[in-house]
Structure 1
Amino acid sequence: MGFFHLYTSQNMIFTIYKSKLILQYFNEIRWNAYFLRIILFFVFVSFLQAEYPRSTSMLAKTNNKYYLKNTGELYTGHVINMSKKTWKKILETYLTNGLINGKYREWYPNGVLKFEGNFINGRREGMFYTWHPNGKIKNEMKYANNVLDSLSFSFLENGMMEKKHNQDTDLALVYDYSEFPKNLKTFSEQFGKLNGNYTKWDKFGRKIEEGYYHNNKKDSLWFKYDADGVVHEKGRFTDNQKDGTWFNYDQYGRPFSKSYYNKGNLDSIKNIVYYMDGSQFAVKNYKLKSRENLIITFNQGGNKISKTQYIGSELTGTSIKWFDNGQKEYQINFLNNRLNGIAEYWNPDGTKKKSGKFKNGSMIEDWTYYTDFEVNTD
């Protein structure tokens, strides 16, 4: 019995000791799990603080750098803005030490992409794009070290080109739709002024006008075209004023009008009427200042038929008529639409027929009549 009691007592002592060890082990596990949860919590919080995207409302911008409003520290991490109306993303980028780094995007509240480009340490680099609300491209431009470089393009909402700009020379080709759909104009700008070619098209795409600008002023030759593409007006500008001879052409390309300008002032106009074969029928020369008007007519052989002077619309001055063979038929004078002064008449062979004087439309003094053999004074 003594041995049995001794064995039993030892076994109970071992069991109790073992139970204590097990209990101590589980207590340690519980404490370790507790500390592990605490550690994980702080790690998670640190992770959230480092990686949770901020919105621009949580940041302050100073000298192109972004700081956390609550700490004043330069921010590194993602930036995301959400639309308050649609809860769709409207901005996304990444900051490194307060500077935009990498891809930068903006969206309209409906989710359509609005802006996209790339930054390196807060400076624009590479291609940048903007879009209209309907999703069509608005601008396409290239940056090098935060400066616009090479060619950039602008487009309207309907996809039509608005501007093509060479950033290296600052020369821009502008598409003007102010008269669209009736007309479309293109012109060149440089250094803030109109410089270079100007072109205008009608709604069918036909060129109707072209010229050149220099320092915001029309310069050099300018042309206007008809519906068939034939030039119907041509002339030169000097310092934004018409200068020299300006031509107007008919549908066959023949000049039917010549206007003479002196630094923007119209001096005289020459109008031409043609026969069907293209030869000149009549030429009218009109001087604006004196209102002198000279009309010359021709036959189809190119010989003169008549030459008549006017002041305004009234016959005043010399009037001459020729026979078809080129011989002069008569030379008379008018004043205020009435015959006045010396009048002479010839035969087709060039011999004198008669001569005399008029006054206020009536014959005066003695007239001389010529025959083959004698001269008669009546």
Structure 2
Amino acid sequence: MKSLVLLFAPWLCLAAEKVDRPNFHDPIELERIIAEAVQLQAVKKADGDWQYFKPLEFAPYQGSGWGVVFHENKKVRILAQFANGKVNGFSFSCYPSGQAMAEANVKEGKPEGLQVLWYEKGRKKSESNFKDGRQDGLSTFWYENGRKKAEFNYLDGKYDGHSTDWYENGLKKEDANWREDKRSGRTTKWFESGQMSSQETYGDGKLHGLSTLWYESGLKKEATSWMEGKKNGLSTIWSQKGERVEANWVGGKQDGLVTTWDQNGRKSSEANFANGRQEGLFTFWYENGQKKEVSIFKDGWRDGLMVSWYENGLRQSRTNWRKGKYHGLATRWYENGEMGQSTYESGKQVGLSTGWYENGWKKWESNWKDGERNGRTTKWYANGQKSLEENHKNGKLVSAVAWKRNGEKCLVTRVKDGNGVYAWYDEDGTESFRIFFKNGQRVN
């Protein structure tokens, strides 16, 4: 809210001596002051400060007493006391409509005492108090509809004490406590609907203690323990569907067990962390309680054996990992009963890759090098008849020959030197589509 406090250079003023504040809202007194004021023009300098001149004079104004600056429509823009050409004393400024904009004081170039701002339609915008150029005491702000917007307490220019913010509908937005410009103690926030959104405790500007957050529906969103601005202890997070995550933290790093539950309260995953890195066993479950995946982590990387299952309990894969990448033998079982087996080195497929039909007959066999097909690839139909034979070099197709299910050679398929076409056939032997190649790359 500090930004809402307008420090107006040309019209902030405070009497150098303790004198009665003029009543600028009394038309008679206002006319009297204007009558004795020197007419001036205000020019804003590059540094943001203001300079004043008498009409048709080029030298800056150096006088003292009341000065007045008018809008183009001849209504008062600024009415202020001057000392040696600078604003020093009471000041009053208006919108072009004539409605009061601000009333304030300045002493030796610094705001002092009460400063009041108004909206153009006449309602009060803010009231602030200053001491030695710094906000001190209560500052109050209002919306244009007249409802209170915020109240802050200041001490020597810093937030100190209690503050309250409201929504434009009049409902409370935030209650907070401050000490030397830092949050200290309880801070509570609300949604515009009136539902509480958070309740947190601070010490020296840092979260310290239990922090609780809610969804606008009223359901709890998060409950976390903090110590000196870092998560420390148990943290629980809920989704709006009722899913839940529980984690332990030490000094801002996850440490210990992290567990998730689905919306029905069934455990869906469990992991271990040490000093912020995932470590040890990592397990997932399906909603029916069947285990989905088990893997091992080391220093934050998946490292070692990973096994996965289908929801019906049948095995799905068995893979080996090193520092977050496939490394070693990888075996996959498909729901239709087929199976595939490949080998990896540091995440790249190498060596022989083989697939089998449910009946145990081979479905494919291919050779790999550094993650790319390299050498011969052979495919078979489920009846054991060869369907395709390809040769690759550095991942690009060099040649291809195909056969129909009945063993008849496909006359359409012809790829040579990476260019050509081959046809693909359905189980009944009819052609289903064609694939075209150019320079070893598929083009359709």
Give the TM-score category using the shorter length: 0.3 to 0.5
TM-score (structure 2 length as normaliser): 0.42
Q: TM-score, normalised by structure 1?
A: 0.48
Q: Which one has a bigger Cα radius of gyration?
A: 1
* Structure richer in helix, relative to its length: 1
